[in-house]
Amino acid sequence: MTELFSLLNKKAVVTGASSGLGVQMAKALAAHGADVALLARRKEKLEQVREEIESNYDVKAISVECDVANLDQVKAAVDVVEKEFGQVDILLNNAGVGGIGTAQEMSLEAWQQVVDVNLTGVFLCSQQFGNLMIEKKYGKIINIASIFGYAANLAFPVSAYHATKGAVVNLTRALAAEWAKYNITVNAIGPGFFESEMTQDIKDNEEANAFIVGGSPMHRWGKTGELNGALMLLASDASSFITGQTIYVDGGWTAV
């Protein structure tokens, strides 16, 4: 069973790896033996994460400055990763933005930014890194969706976020169907509310925090590390016959 979940000698790419859940999941991949390429726009923060990983795990980590919504930067990142690692076995599309704003007041620019990062970024990284996987006839793509890709809500005006995360769920299915012939699995994780840099303001808001805790059958936020089980399943060969699926890790939020 340990061998089934092992990532030893695997090469992983993590987008949005400079903070929050991206850092947590990059460290989890490294802890299970994968060399990790860390992608994000904030180079200084990426370097800090890279140093932490190489200091604590017996793997190689590299940092690559990259805006996932920019095709030229994604292509350049692919070149760097291919040169350093020679291959890509795992792609974790984690980069995302929130985009809070009411539907009647949201500007086109604000809407487009959310679409560019949350949806187009997932497609571009899947397409460009997927080309390396297609050559090898092997790959594990994991997209970070959200419970808000499954259902709407009454507390936060985030229609653009809902739209893009819902699209990620179906893009996951579409890529899974298209690339199954290349032995590439494409799945998604739909987190509930986890503590991170992106959600700190929400947690600090008494009314919003009450909504989140009250809406979950477990009556709490997700803890550090509680995404790792689903991540290890989908990143390893334990999921060799699982594709096109979204696993919601949400304390039961989507069950009620």
pLDDT per residue, tens digit, the chain (256 aa), is 788 999 999 999 999 999 999 999 999 999 999 999 999 999 999 999 999 999 999 999 999 999 999 999 999 999 999 999 999 999 999 999 988 999 999 999 999 999 999 999 999 999 999 999 999 999 999 999 999 999 999 999 999 999 999 999 999 999 999 999 999 999 999 999 998 777 888 889 999 999 999 999 999 999 999 999 999 999 999 999 999 999 999 999 999 9
Q: How far apart are CA 181 and CA 202, in angstroms?
A: 42
User: CA dist 156 to 99, 102, 150, 209, Å?
Assistant: 10, 9, 15, 12
In the set 57, 161, 182, 248, the catalytic residue is: 161
Q: How many helices (H) and strands (E) does the chain have?
A: 9, 7
% of the chain exceeding 70 in pLDDT: 100
> pTM for the complete prediction?
0.97
- Please state whether 196 falls in left (phi above 0), alpha (psi between -120 and 50) or beta: beta
Cα atoms found within 13 Å of the Cα of residue 41, Cβ hemisphere only: 9
Residues near 115 by beta carbon (within 8 Å), at least 6 away in sequence: 160, 163, 164
* Structural domains in the chain, sorted by start: 11-249 (3.40.50.720)
User: CA dist 242 to 176, 187, 234, Å?
Assistant: 9, 8, 8
DSSP, collapsed to helix, strand or coil, labels residue 240 as: coil
What letter would DSSP give residue 212?
A: H
DSSP 3-state percent helix, strand, coil across the chain (nearest 5): 50, 15, 35
Total residue count of the chain as it appears in this document: 256
Residue with tokens 């800090």: 48
Among 88, 98, 73, residue whose Cα is nearest residue 29: 88
pLDDT at 197: 72
| 161 noted as active-site residue | yes
Amino acid found at 89: D
What is the tens place of the pLDDT at every residue in 67-120?
999 999 999 999 999 999 999 999 999 999 988 999 999 999 999 999 999 999
